[in-house]
Amino acid sequence: MLISLVAIGILGIACQWLAWWARLPAILFLLVIGLIAGPLTGYLDPDALLGDLLFPIVSLSVAIILFEGSLTLNLYEIKGLGKVVRNLITIGAMITWAVTAIVTHYITGLPVELSALFGAVMVVTGPTVIMPMLRTVRPDAAISNILKWEGIVIDPLGALLAVLVFNFIISSQSGSAWPTVIYEFGKIVVAGGLSGFISAHVMGLILRKHLAPDYLHNVLVLILVFTVFTASDLIAHESGLLAVTIMGMTMANMKGTHIEDILDFKESLSILLISGLFIILAARVDFQQFTQIGWSSLVILAVLMLIARPLSVFVSAIGSDLKFNEKLLISWIGPRGIVAAAVASIFALRLETQGYPEAGLMVPLAFLIIIGTVVIQSTSSKFIAKILNVREPPPTGVLIIGAGIVARVIGKAIKEQGFKVVLTDSNWENTRAARMDGLTTYYGNPISDHAERHLDMIGLGKMLALSGRENLDTLANFRFKSDFGKKNVYQLKTTREKNISEKHRIATRLRGYQLFGEDITHGDVASWIRKGAEIRNTQLGEDFGFEDFQNKYGENAIPLFAVDNNEKLQFFVVDGKMKPEPGWVVVSLIKQESLINQP
């Protein structure tokens, strides 16, 4: 048992790593590993391994995944698009449900009630596969926000729909279906909504009033999610998913409640849970069931992707500002994920015990839809988005903190190499001077709430802190590290930092990579510029390499950055391992005396 549990963890994280390297959704690799470890080799038997704990673990894990996803649902992001999302999770969901249920019944021969249940399960699109896909496809903001919100919100609503259909099936056996369904629906909505809303405000109060120490916040929220999920389920069976989603959405939109650390913790936990769950659920699949559903089941996949999804999107987008090409891409992206697999597995098991032996076919059919949508859409969406001209530009641009003379000179040099540059500064004179130089600017504090909403980050992939203000530069590094990644934030040392003792310096772990050289400060660069130093571009070749460049200019030049043979921007940093090669362009600041008689 110990070896099996550790192996699941190792294989799960290995799949996530491989997915990152291949730029594909991790679910592809997780499903393959699960099928190999389970039905193909017989090494992993989740039912024997976990026994009665299997489905409680699956349920609690899905609750954490939904809560983490709903924590990212900031209402500002959906401004102007709320109607489309609302329609997608209501009208669009009903269209998908109806079309899928009808075609499933006639293609597979499943009873009407089981076909309706399967159609309800397939309403769920799945944030666990949509978010990695969005990072790869890079659609415009409108498409990205709609798909993100739909994927997260429709998870509990799709599960709720499946619960109602399930309750209808069970209740119909006693002859009192409709009254029971209406009663159960009301009970689930009230119990889930109130539980989630109240618990979110309780947790928000604890965070705002500092009623618990910082080191307990993450664990406290985790236990509260488990508690709310379980308590809500006790009040109204299957209302827990709705409760944790409402809880996350409410916390995400509370003013004055800082959830960044909690979100980071939950994101890491969700990755671990998703990795393990997909392997475990895939390992439970019986290959013999795939032969039972037959090749005709591929028709269900085709109808779901080519008829149900486009129909639901175009009907939901009536009256919106979405362009035709944006609607097309949204219609193409609708992969199914972990919740669809988990819900199908749970209800199939329960219905088999209720006298529906055909219910077991829903599991391989669900996995067929999951594999088909993920494989086809993840491999084609990037190409389709490019054809439809709805992709954001590649994140090769640079955000520069500060718009003083150093920031302006380096910003112009980067822009002249063909990269997008945005300068931010709270000083109007600096901002005005940058605009006069033809640079894009944001007038304001880059770490303000206003910047969070209005600073255009599209196409930006790196950050340079060049304000010359130690505290602002460090705060900016801390703020944008999550957006750009630790390896893409840089900071230029200030003159004060060079002269103060170690006990007054800001910790290295809070800073970005130190730019240009150990002894080079913001003041040094500003002084060089004021004394006539100029930016020069040097094309390296076989007969004039980087060592020749250094020998020629010595201490009279500060190499700033280089553009490599793949047209990528690389900055010179302290203790950096960059070695410019022939064909690279090195951009440097060179003293005036070294420019005499130079072309």
Q: Quick count: other Cβ atoms within 10 Å of Cβ 387? A: 12
CA dist., res. 200 & res. 245, Å (int): 10
pLDDT of residue 19: 79
> What are phi and psi for residue 498, nearest 5 degrees?
-70, -30
pLDDT of residue 419: 87
Note the pLDDT tens digit of each residue in 417-435.
888 889 998 888 888 999 9
Asked if residues 4 and 54 have their Cβ atoms less than 8 Å apart, the reply is no
Smallest Cα–Cα separation from 136: which of 455, 380, 428, 366? 380
What fold does the segment set 2-388 form as a domain? Na+/H+ antiporter like fold (1.20.1530)
Amino acid letter, 422: V
% helix / strand / coil in the chain, to the nearest 5? 65, 10, 25
Q: Residue 134: CB partners within 8 Å, gap ≥ 6?
A: 144, 147, 148
Smallest Cα–Cα separation from 511: which of 446, 423, 573? 573
End-to-end CA distance of the chain: 72
Longest pairwise C-alpha distance within the chain = 98
pLDDT of residue 307: 92
Write down the pTM of the prediction. 0.68
Question: What does the block give as tokens for 480?
Answer: 């944008």
In 527-565, which positions are buried (b, 16+ CB within 10 angstroms) versus exposed (e)?
A: ebbeeebebbebebeeeebbeebeeebeebbbbbbbbee
The structural domains of the chain, with segments of one domain joined by +, span 2-388, 397-595
Asked if residues 443 and 452 have their Cβ atoms less than 8 Å apart, the reply is no
Place of tokens 């129909």: 311
List the pLDDT tens digit at each of the 599 positions of the chain: 888 889 888 998 898 888 778 767 677 788 888 888 888 888 888 888 888 888 788 778 878 877 776 776 666 655 655 788 888 888 988 999 999 999 988 888 888 888 888 898 888 876 667 777 777 787 877 888 888 878 777 776 777 677 777 767 766 665 556 676 677 777 878 888 899 899 988 888 888 888 888 788 888 888 888 899 999 888 887 678 778 888 888 888 887 777 766 766 666 777 787 788 888 878 877 777 667 777 777 888 999 999 999 999 999 888 888 889 889 988 998 888 777 777 787 777 777 777 777 777 888 888 888 888 888 888 888 888 888 888 877 778 889 988 888 889 999 999 888 888 899 988 888 889 999 888 888 888 887 767 776 777 777 888 888 888 877 888 888 788 877 778 888 888 887 766 665 665 666 666 777 888 777 888 888 888 888 888 888 888 888 888 888 888 778 888 888 888 888 888 888 877 778 888 888 888 888 666 555 55
Secondary-structure class of domain 397-595 per CATH: alpha beta
The kind and range of the H/E element at 447 are none
SS3 for 57-117 is HHHHHHHHHHHHHHCCCCHHHHCCCHHHHHHHHHHHHHHHHHHHHHHHHHHHCCCHHHHHH
